[in-house]
Amino acid sequence: MTELRVLGDPDPDRPADPEPAIYPNWESVYQDNVIGIYQLVFRKVGNSADAEDLAEEVLMHTLKTLRLPAPVPTVRAYLVKTARTVLADHWRRHYAARDAASELEKMPIEITTNPDAADRAQRLLSLLPDHFRNILELRFLRGYSVREAAGELGVTESNARVLQFRALRKAAELEREVLR
């Protein structure tokens, strides 16, 4: 009688897995992770100049701390841990943003390319009330200046800035409470 085996169960005939994969040297850690780390920090700072500096800081600290060769999961876990600390420190040091920094230290982050970032932003925008969504779409998706957005919405520039501020705070709240 044929023995049934559930898909995903380990194959009994297959030898046990050897040790996890190994990064042999710093070049291999760099090659395999630099883009993922850059994208991870970019999503938290929104600009390339800071993202470049912080990605380098994350890699430099990790590579100076860990002894190589080292298992891939160990290195990646350390990179993520370091990224979280470096990002929190960035927001604390440059903007005195203690709450935002603490939030970052708790937030689950991972090294992945983020093909669904645009979808996620659209989903976030769709949850906002119309007047908040409109200003953020004009500014972030269509690249309008404050003046152009104000003209489109029929409000003063000063009111457009206030609207943008309130819309961003609401977006942060939704991100924290609904999308995470």
- Residue list 127-146, contact with other proteins (CB under 8 A): 136, 139-141, 143, 145-146
CB nearer to other proteins: pick between 35 and 77: 35
- Least distance to other proteins, CB of residue 114, Å: 7
Q: How many CA atoms lie within 13 A of 16 on its CB side?
A: 2
The DSSP code for 19 is S
As a whole number of Å, the end-to-end CA separation of the chain is 48
Residue 180 binding other proteins, by CB under 8 A: no
Tokens of 58: 């994350």
Identify residues 20-49 at the interface with other proteins (CB under 8 A): 20-28, 30-32, 34-35, 38-39, 42-49
CB nearer to other proteins: pick between 17 and 130: 17
The candidate with the shortest Cα–Cα distance to 83, out of 64, 105, 66, is 105
DSSP 42-62: HHHH-SHHHHHHHHHHHHHHH
Question: Could you give the angle at which helices 72-95 and 98-106 cross, rounded to 10 degrees?
Answer: 170
Q: Which of 81, 110, 117, 178 binds other proteins (CB under 8 A)?
A: 117
CB nearer to other proteins: pick between 2 and 45: 45
Residue 178 binding other proteins, by CB under 8 A: no
Q: Which of 5, 81, 94, 131 binds other proteins (CB under 8 A)?
A: 94
